[in-house]
Structure 1
Amino acid sequence: MQSSLTSLLDHPKIAVSDEEYNRIQNNLIYFQSRFNDVTFLNTDGEQRTRKFNHLPLARTCCKKVAGLVYNEQAEITIENEVINKFVNEILLNDRFNKNFERYLESCLALGGMAMRPYFDGKTIKIAFIQAPVFLPLQSNTQDISSAAIVTKSVKSEGRINTYYTLIEFHEWVNDELTITNELYKSNNADIIGSRVLLSELYDTLEESVVIKGLSRPLFTYLKTPGMNNKDINSPLGLSIFDNAKTTIDFINRTYDEFMWEIKMGQRRVAVPDGLTNMTFQQGKDGRLQSKRRFEVEQNVFVQIGGGIDDNKIIDLTTPIRAEDYIKSINKGLAIFEMQVGVSSGMFSFDGKTMKTATEVVSENSDTYQLRNSIVSQVEHSIKELIVSICELGKAHGIYRGKIPKLGEISINLDDGVFTDRNAELDYWTKALASGIVSKQYAISKVLGVTDEVAGEMLTEINEESQPDLGDEDRLIYGAKE
């Protein structure tokens, strides 16, 4: 029994290295754009700080790719009608499509996430567990079958905050899933603290629960495609911008210098201080009135003491190197596109024309290939989630149907942004006319439905195509009632 923890990584069951954990935390900084202020020396040699001007590249990149992969038009279909109704009611009531698209951004930014169905006493809901609080256990290899899920809470008593950390361990014991809960308490937000009784914060939570009848882990782990080249032995995925952080730094640094140069390059005119002194003139009422030579509310003019030739007004404004900075930023964006693996032109902008997603893909299929790689991971993960939903429903007695196989589940993700529907229909029509595919197969490919649904549609089409014979025609052709 672990009595005290400084960090989550101190727990003997957790198998995440310091480097992997810190990498995820660093990815979170880029995703949230929480960059440090800029420190500089002013003209007098005094140290000053200012806000760092930056572009939200990491967030924009993840949002765009997530939007191309999944949206609210996605359809999940199971061949068995009973299973299909049960699962889709749960997903619809829990607004799964809307939530999944949102959390997919976090998955792409941090390298992965987990989805865990849970029973709330009435129905099943889905919890999305982000990378910083999902930690593989020691027994894992490349497939995550056991993990720790972390939930943090803050309890205030007067002006004193108490920080609680609940660690939920999912482990397999004799082919049965055992969920063990440990609660830790601390007065310091950066320290996990000492282990306390669950009843101190949770009234009904048990220390250990065994769930029987599961064929797979209760959670499903979705990670980005490709090898983790930061730690080749880690089961965790990489952020899609993990290998492009130096480029993000270059773009942000260039953008910051550009913004600062614009601010420093505003109009400045040196004026001898003698020309800025107030003068007095007699008004109509005979009183002396002060009169300024320059408007006091503007900052264009700078007073300069003696030394200016012939008391001349000198323009100190320097030209802004806008074209050079814009070229540098666009070059950085082009490199960023290459490193992320998207088509050229997805993030960069030449100032003349903005390319649509279809145009980008027609020129270069990098974005389409990246999307397909992520889609295959998403589809498999959702299918595993559906199996877990049904098994959990059966364990709690709210579902009595069969447990679906992965092959019986169809995930239809709308890829219309990449696909010319007319061209696709023309292709399969020609394939059907040539006799190399069946009508049922062509329907399933064009409409993206399962073979069973395509078969039902074909039956309806055949019935609709039968002639409606009247009484006279029935007598002529010998048709039976």
Structure 2
Amino acid sequence: MSIITKIKEVFRRLFTRQNIQSKINTTIAVSDKMAAAIDLWTRCYKNHPPWRYDENGKEKVKTLNLPAIIASELSRLVTTELESSVENKTLDEAYQTVVRDLRHCCELGCAGGGLAFKPVPENGRISVDYVSAESFFPTDYDTNGDITGAIFVDKLTKGDTVYTKLEQHRLEGKQYTIRNYAFKNETQDPDVTIDLGRPIPLTDVPEWAAVEEEKVIAPVLAPLFAYFKMPGTNPIDKTSPLGVSCFAKALEQIEQADRQYDRLLWEYEGSELALDLPADWFAFDEVKQKWRLPEGKERLFRVHDMDDDENSRYNIFSPAIRDASLFNGLDNLLKRIEFNCGLSYGTISDPQNVDKTATEIISSKQRLYSTVKDIQLALEDALQHMVYAMSVWMNLSGQTVPVGPEVTFNWDDSIVIDKQAELLAMQQDVASGILRPEIYLAKKYGVTEKEALKMMPDTEETVDEGLTVSDPNSGGNTDEIKHSDEVEAAEEIAGKTLNGAQTQSLLGIIGQYSKGELTLGQAINLISVAIGISKEEAKKIIEGSE
């Protein structure tokens, strides 16, 4: 990457913004500082940070590609096991395509500070364009900071020619106007285009030939696009309606981490084993003008003019490696990056080096939970608005669907809740007799309590729809003295004293079994789980009560 290219990249978004404003006579609500910041985030996400190359375009610092890793990991945590649907079947079919792509969309939004969802009618169907930050220019926003007008940039490159389409959306009252403009540029580097070029008809580009130059829709209550904005204050421009990248607060530490990583690699390379040997040990290749070294072992040998002293004819170069201190320094930087990005310790740093006191673990998980939850709420808002826009376009295309139907969301909560630990705690509650076994099974396998009952051995034959298997009172009056013998016998078989809850569960199950409400297999399984004993011991207890 040459210095000229780097300068062009730095000012590309600034010049593009000014170019757009002059070409279509509009005002873009993006400051110079915000435009430069978005360009920087985009370059860092693509692993081209400004500190990676020197002025000649030669790589001078090896990078960890942390911006992309952070955005990717956050999007994974945000969208893991997401279940979302629209109550209208026709809309839901189109919506599920977006749900499947949501992790990718979330990653782009996290990296660039935001992302626009733009529904597009195509051949009687609705698709959705995902417009990243560098191609989205807001023009209007209301007092709440919600964007009501924007320009979407679409580029096509054919050889050395760059075609650009500007799609302008604007909501005024309840009237919605969409205007499209096309431009052609044959003089710029296709990879770093600043000038839009000259205006051309949309029909000159086959891909845009069917696009209308202007379309007015009314009544419309909200923009026909949705903007997913990363949560949090924008410290770069407090008046901007745009969001801030997930790694914006950690860019300085990310640069330091890259430089530390580069030092670590250099330490490994600089301390490689080598043999310093005299030149007369090797033949010289006159054609290639270099010493002939053993093939594949060239890095091991270093040829020098050496003294004839037998003791100094060769030297083994094998210095000690200082990797431990360098790695610890890198790991501390990674932890600072995690903190600044709202991640828990161990997300990108070495999890083996994370302090593990209960308070620190909870605090770290809560920080990540807050970050993820805020992003999920922002996504919900954007997707709800997107569905409204989809419903408007569907009705315009002749399909009758409810406008702005309800969208349901079910997010995974395993970030702060260790599911295995939770299930273990529930299992212990069942063994203590304070939780019904079917509730535990329902949680573990994601089924209803009725389905959980049927999953238990023999239950499909006799389970009554209204039966509560572990109700301690379902087997009759457990307070009667006659049951004391059964409890004593059970304790003797189990080899332990039962607490009050276990006693109540035991007597309830025996009572239900004696009434024929439970089969033998059911009763054995329930007693085994409720008291925490083997099935053989549970069977002996049942047989002793008969």
Aligned to 2:70: 61
Give distance in 1, aligned partners of 2:419 and 2:331.
33
Residues 172, 38 of structure 1: alpha-carbon distance in 2 compared, 3 angstrom cutoff: closer
Q: CA deviation at 1:365?
A: 1.1
Instruction: Find 2:37's aligned residue among 7, 20, 23.
Output: 23
Asked if 1:150 corresponds to 2:148, the answer is: no
Distance 1:466 1:299 in 2: 77
Aligned to 1:208: 214
Matched residue of 1:126: which SS? strand
Tell me if the contact between 1:275 and 1:293 (Cα under 8 Å) persists in the aligned partners.
no
CA distance in 2, matches of 1:375, 1:9: 34
Give deviations 1:237-285, integer Å, cap 9, x for gaps.
000100111111011111112112212221222223344469xxxxxxx
Give the equivalent residue in structure 1 for 2:303. Answer: 303
Conserved? CA contact 1:111–1:240, under 8 Å: yes
SS at match of 1:262: helix
CA distance 1:138–1:365, shift in 2 (3 Å): closer
> Match for 2:115 among 113, 116, 138?
113
Structure 2 matches for 1:29-428, cutoff 5 A?
29-35=43-49, 49-50=58-59, 52-71=61-80, 73-78=81-86, 83-92=87-96, 95-138=97-140, 142-156=145-159, 161-187=160-186, 188=188, 189-201=193-205, 202-276=208-282, 295=294, 297-307=297-307, 310=310, 311-349=312-350, 364-400=365-401, 402-404=402-404, 408-419=406-417, 423=422
Evaluate the alpha carbon distance shift between residue 308 and residue 206 of structure 1 in structure 2; reply closer, same or farther with a 3 A threshold.
Answer: farther
Given that 2:276 and 2:315 are in contact with CA atoms closer than 8 Å, whether structure 1 keeps it comes out as: yes
Instruction: Give yes or no for contact 2:29–2:240 (8 Å, CA) kept in 1.
Output: no
Contact 1:9 1:17 in 2 (8 A): no
Contact 2:147–2:227 (CA<8 Å) still a contact in 1? yes
Q: Which whole-Å CA distance do the structure 1 matches of 2:410 and 2:268 have between them?
A: 49
The alpha carbon displacement at 1:140 in A equals 5.3
Distance 2:210 2:294 in 1: 71
Mapped to 1, the partners of 2:82 and 2:255 lie a distance apart of: 35
Mapped contact 1:343–1:361 kept (Cα < 8 A): no
Deviations 1:406-462 (CA, angstroms, capped at 9, x unpaired): xx4321122234335695997xx99xxxxxxxxxxxx9xxx99xxxxxxxxxxxxxx
SS in 2 for 1:14: coil
TM-score (norm 1): 0.74
Residues 9 and 18 of structure 1 are in contact (CA less than 8 Å); yes or no, is this contact kept in structure 2?
A: no
Contact in 1 for aligned 2:260/2:326 (Cα 8 Å): yes
8 Å CA contact 2:306–2:313 kept in 1: the answer is: no
Secondary structure of 1:146 counterpart: strand
Cα gap change, 1:330/1:22 in structure 2, threshold over 3 Å: closer, same or farther? same
Cα distance in 1 for partners of 2:248, 2:128 equals 28
Q: Which has the higher contact order (CA 8 A, sep 6+)?
A: 1
Which protein is richer in helix relative to its size? 2
Q: Does the CA-based 8 Å contact 1:166-1:183 persist in structure 2?
A: yes
Rate the CA distance shift 1:77–1:155 in 2: closer, same or farther, 3 A: closer
Q: Is the 8 A contact 2:164 2:196 kept in 1?
A: yes
Q: Does structure 1 retain, via aligned residues, the 8 Å contact 2:226–2:385?
A: yes
- Mapped to 1, the partners of 2:215 and 2:293 lie a distance apart of 80
The 1:300–1:219 alpha-carbon spacing in structure 2 relative to 1, beyond 3 Å, is: same
Please give the TM-score of this superposition, normalised by the length of structure 2.
Answer: 0.66
Q: 1:360 to 1:97 in 2, by over 3 A?
A: farther
Assess if the C-alpha contact under 8 Å between 1:272 and 1:308 holds in 2: no
User: Contact conserved, 1:107 with 1:223, CA < 8 A, in 2?
Assistant: yes
CA displacement 1:25-79 (0-9 Å, x = unmatched): 1111111112465559xxxxxx9955632112111111111111114x422245x
2:542 maps to which residue?
none
Q: SS in structure 1 opposite 2:161?
A: strand
| Alpha-carbon shift at residue 106 of structure 1 (Å) | 0.6
Kindly indicate whether the alpha-carbon contact (under 8 Å) linking 1:368 and 1:418 is maintained by their aligned counterparts in 2.
yes
**Equivalent pair of 2:307/2:313 in contact (CA under 8 Å):** no
C-alpha distance in structure 2 between counterparts of 1:174 and 1:197, whole Å: 30
Note the C-alpha offset of 1:318.
Answer: 2.6
Question: Is the Cα–Cα contact under 8 Å of residues 8 and 192 in structure 1 kept in the other structure?
Answer: no
1:129 is paired with a residue of what secondary structure?
strand
Structure 2 residue runs of 5 or longer lacking an equivalent are 1-13, 285-290, 431-441, 448-463, 469-546
8 Å CA contact 2:346–2:354 kept in 1: the answer is no
Per-residue CA distance 1:96-131 (angstroms, 9 max, x = gap):
222111111010010000111121022111111111
1:275–1:409 CA distance, 2 compared to 1 (3 A): closer
3-state secondary structure, aligned to 2:298: coil
**CA 1:308–1:349 in structure 2 vs 1: closer, same or farther (change >3 Å)?**
farther
Provide closer, same or farther for how the CA distance between residues 28 and 48 of structure 1 changes in structure 2, counting only shifts above 3 A.
Answer: closer
CA distance in 1, matches of 2:232, 2:52: 34
CA contact (8 A) 2:85 2:95 kept: no
Deviations 1:109-164 (A, max 9, x none): 100001111210221111111111111105655221111111011234xxxx2211
- Between structures 1 and 2, the one with greater strand share: 1
The answer to whether the Cα contact below 8 Å between 1:68 and 1:415 also exists between their aligned partners in 2 is no
Residues 177 and 210 of structure 1 are in contact (CA less than 8 Å); yes or no, is this contact kept in structure 2?
yes
What is the letter of the counterpart of residue 158 of structure 2? K
Query: How far apart in 2 are the matches of 1:277 and 1:182?
Result: 69
**For 1:324-355, what per-residue CA distance to the aligned partner results, in whole angstroms no more than 9, with x for missing partners?**
11011101101101111112222110557999
Distance 1:254 1:223 in 2: 32
The 1:346/1:32 distance shift into structure 2, 3 A limit, reads same
Shift of 1:394: 1.6
Q: Closer, same or farther in 2 for the Cα pair 1:173/1:38, shift >3 Å?
A: closer
Q: Provide the identity percentage.
A: 24
